[in-house]
Amino acid sequence: EIVLTQSPATLSLSPGDRATLSCRGSPRVSNYLAWYQKRPGQAPRLLIYDTSNRATGVPDRFSGSGSGTYFTLTISSLEPEDFAVYYCQQRSSWPFTFGPGTKVDLK
Amino acid sequence: EVRLVESGGDLVQPGGSLRLSCAASGFIFRSSAMAWVRQAPGKGLEWVSSISSSGDIRYYADSVKGRFTISRDSSKNTLYLQMTSLRAEDTALYYCAKEGPGLVATVLGLWDYWGQGTLVTVSS
């Protein structure tokens, strides 16, 4: 089973700040790495798939990069609605697994 | 507009059974693989089960294998999760999710639309 770890656990930032979230996979993950946003009381939302592809309707302030075992989600300038929990998820091998999440909260 | 509406969640005793339903609309349900993903209180997301568009291919997480059964009825545009031998650790909000992006017949493990979830509580 591929284990995903995310860092930091919490990121305290202000609107307009740049956010960089990390996800590491062990063993190695191919490029089948996705990012989801989860706001309280709302359904998860697909942001990025296959490392760097934005899902339909996702603003271009969200971007993904990485390869192998290290991946990042970058939010170039935080909007008020971006304060949420972000999960990475791999589909390179069974079972599909999620990371524990990074909470982006208001500083 | 894609819409997924889960129902069937309830309070059930350990060892009990429950069937969850997910009513789908806004896309060609019979052409799309589907999945269940859960979130325990205060915890992260956990993939539970997936089914292909035809229903002939099904996958389960080890934690539910042998106890849960995923199925679908394309005449009713509905996805199901039959849960038996329920345990306290099955307590969670259960989400129905559509494979994507677009219409994906096979199980790929990528979900572009999710429902709001239905709560299952296993407790005596």
Nearest Cα residue in chain B from A91: B109
Question: pLDDT digit string (tens) for B33-89?
Answer: 999 999 999 999 999 999 999 999 999 999 999 999 999 999 999 999 999 999 999
Rg (CA), chain B: 13
Please say if the pLDDT value at position B17 is more than 90: yes
Q: Which residues in chain B are contacts of A56 at CB distance < 8 A?
A: 101, 112
Question: pLDDT digit string (tens) for B82-114?
Answer: 999 999 999 999 999 999 988 888 999 999 999
**Spatial contact of B118 and B8, defined as CB atoms under 8 Å apart:** yes
First-residue to last-residue Cα distance in chain A: 35
Chain B interface includes A95 (CB < 8 A): yes
Element (H, E) at B12: strand B11-12
Chain B interface includes A43 (CB < 8 A): yes
The token duo for B55 is: 């229903």
Which of A56, A95, A100 lies closest to B44 in CB terms?
A100
Interface test with A, best of B43, B45, B94 (most A CBs within 10 A): B45
Cβ contacts of residue A94 below 8 Å, gap of 6+?
B59
Rounded to whole angstroms, the maximal C-alpha distance in chain B is 42
- DSSP track, B76-98: TTEEEEEE-S--GGG-EEEEEEE
Q: What is the pLDDT along chain A (107 residues), one digit of tens a residue?
A: 999 999 999 999 999 999 999 999 988 888 999 999 999 999 999 999 999 999 999 999 999 999 989 999 999 999 999 999 999 999 998 899 999 999 999 99
**The predicted structure's pLDDT at residue A98:** 97
Interface test with A, best of B58, B111, B113, B119 (most A CBs within 10 A): B111
